[in-house]
Amino acid sequence: MSSIRPTTVAGTFYPSEPKELNAMIKHFFGEANAQIPSGAQAPKAIIAPHAGYNYSGANAALAYARLRPVAKTIKRVVLLGPSHRISLKGMALSSANFFATPLGEVPIDYNGAQQITDLPQVQVFDKCHAEEYSLEVQLPFLQVVLDQFKALPIVVGDCNPGQIAEILDILWGGPETLIVISSDLSHFMDYDSARNLDNVTAHAIETLSPESINDNQACGRNPLKGFLALAKQRSLQVETLGLCNSGDTTGSKAKVVGYGSWAFFEQVDFETKTHALLKEHGQTLLKLAAQSIRRGLTTALPLDVNPAKYSKALDAPGASFVTLRIKGQLRGCIGSFQHQRPLAKDVAKNAFASAFCDHRFEPLKSEELNDLELSISILSPSVPMDVRDEKDLISQLRQEVDGLIIEDMSRRALFLPTVWSQFPKPEDFLANLKAKAKITSSQWSHNFKASRFITAEISAIGQDAIALWAQEK
């Protein structure tokens, strides 16, 4: 006989009337959709809060809205959350065949449960699920955004990250499987203290550092730490989508609860993907850069690019640096740190800025075109580095491979991997980057952050450059 785990927090954490609940979630999605960049990759896993929707629903929607492009692909959701009501050793499955919400019944993934039931850290324990809300509150979001799917709700109690990573690795699957980690952040601190602690937790998540998350930083710390351990093994990329607390949503700032949402992505082989892009579209990008520079010479404005006129690859978000040289000497270099606008538009704007807005040089003159060489670097998404001190950072740098971004408070600077040719020793590479950021050589503070990236490049030099500029005349 089929058994149903009924809703336990409908009417308190979220509306019990289906139309009202559906309308509330769609309202959250409407706000979240406006923040999704064009062409954003769909995540393999998300972290979302589990408080009442009036408190954290808008934050949770930032993660769930990212699933729309794969709504028909995802068929299974592995859902992990903490045990709030019952003391639990290990992890608990439910014997129910369905979990109910006001929007209907979600079937349970029996086959997935069978894959992990025999593990010593896993048990079927219905009492743990009976009043547990950390999993239940995630289901209505999934019901609205996905088509047909099964869920595998797992309540996580006292167990180590390795035990949790083990079951997630077994259940990882392919694009049909989504991982959801349910957790709130700090609890019942004053507003400013909560923000400071939640920023520390966010940094630990961004750097895939489970060991940096302490007991007071997240109620779902156990599933969170287990997932981060596996995410690090699998080299997932992470994006912070939103960070707030109940003081932001209710106005009371005396004792607040923190909320955050994150998306995790399986890495596509950047080098293979980008080299293929440059092979197919590199000449188009070089022409766009050249056209933008020539437009700047005549109108003092960059080329106005309509990305929709180009391929999907050039319409997708990208980050680029455009470097100009004359007879081997730098003539301008400006670019983007983040993937925030279509690559075609990014290249055109950065080419113009390199020619006319690099404060180290006078604006480019038309008579310099005949000797001008042009290079475009396409940047991978940057990955935050977990570093203890400057010595640790230097030891992690990969010579001639890594580009590096450093920041300390309002000071920030970037070196492309090509700069290794000037400073081949990691110590010199970092020292000169600190100088560029106007950070003193001996300075190291708790605010210091470092991220690395790699690049792929295409250039027009020599006869290729002459032909490019001649084409533009």
β-pairing, 76-82 vs 150-156, is: parallel
Residues 186, 126 share a domain: yes
Tokens of 186: 């700090």
Residues 61, 132 share a domain: yes
Out of 265, 296, 318, pick the residue that ends a domain. Answer: 265
Sign of CA dihedral 158, 161, 164, 167: negative
Q: What angle do CA 231, 236, 239 make, to 5 degrees?
A: 110
HSE-CB at 66 with a 13 A cutoff on CA atoms is: 27
Out of 216, 246, 265, pick the residue that ends a domain. Answer: 265
The whole-number mean pLDDT for each consecutive block of 10 residues of the chain, a chain of 473 residues, reads 88 97 97 84 94 96 94 94 93 96 96 93 95 96 96 96 95 92 95 94 94 93 96 91 93 90 84 86 94 94 89 88 94 90 94 96 93 93 82 90 91 93 94 93 86 91 83 60
Q: How far apart are CA 225 and CA 205, in angstroms?
A: 9
Phi/psi at 14 (5° precision): -155, 160
**Whole-structure pTM value:** 0.66
Residues 87, 201 share a domain: yes
Q: How far apart are CA 318 and CA 314, in angstroms?
A: 8
Residues 319, 222 share a domain: no
Mention every residue, 6+ apart, whose C-beta is less than 8 A from residue 12. Answer: 52
- To which residue do tokens 């450093």 refer? 406
472: left (phi over 0), alpha (psi -120 to 50) or beta: alpha
Residues 305, 254 share a domain: no
Residues 349, 387 share a domain: no
Phi/psi at 72 (5° precision): -90, -15
Give the amino acid at 96. A
Q: How far apart are CA 68 and CA 39, in angstroms?
A: 12
Query: 161-191 in b/e burial notation, b at 16+ Cβ within 10 A?
Result: bebbbbbbeebeeeeebbbbbbbbbbbebeb
Q: How far apart are CA 290 and CA 295, in angstroms?
A: 8
Nearest to 283 by CA among 344, 363, 349, 211: 344
Q: How far apart are CA 300 and CA 297, in angstroms?
A: 6
Residues 261, 279 share a domain: no
- Predicted pLDDT of residue 194: 94
β-pairing, 76-82 vs 122-124, is: unpaired
Beta bridge partners of 375: 323, 459
Tokens of 379: 């940047």
Tokens of 388: 């203890």
Question: 418 is in which domain, residue-wise?
Answer: 383-453
Domain CATH code at residue 416? 3.30.1490.150
Domain CATH code at residue 352? 3.30.700.20
- Predicted pLDDT of residue 264: 95
Mention every residue, 6+ apart, whose C-beta is less than 8 A from residue 257. Answer: 51, 55, 184, 185, 186, 187, 188, 194, 245, 246
Residues 240, 298 share a domain: no
Tokens of 179: 């991982």
Calculate the CA 235 to chain-centre distance. Answer: 12
- Predicted pLDDT of residue 268: 66
Residues 293, 410 share a domain: no
Residues 461, 394 share a domain: no
Q: How far is CA 250 from CA 11, 49, 188, 189, 244, in A?
A: 18, 16, 14, 15, 11
Residues 112, 24 share a domain: yes
Domain CATH code at residue 152? 3.40.830.10
Q: How far apart are CA 232 and CA 163, in angstroms?
A: 15
Residues 97, 222 share a domain: yes
Nearest to 248 by CA among 98, 406, 384, 56: 56
Find the helix packing angle between 221-233 and 191-206, rounded to 10°.
Answer: 30
HSE-CB at 299 with a 13 A cutoff on CA atoms is: 10
- Predicted pLDDT of residue 258: 95
Domain count, the chain: 3
Out of 208, 240, 265, pick the residue that ends a domain. Answer: 265
- Predicted pLDDT of residue 472: 58
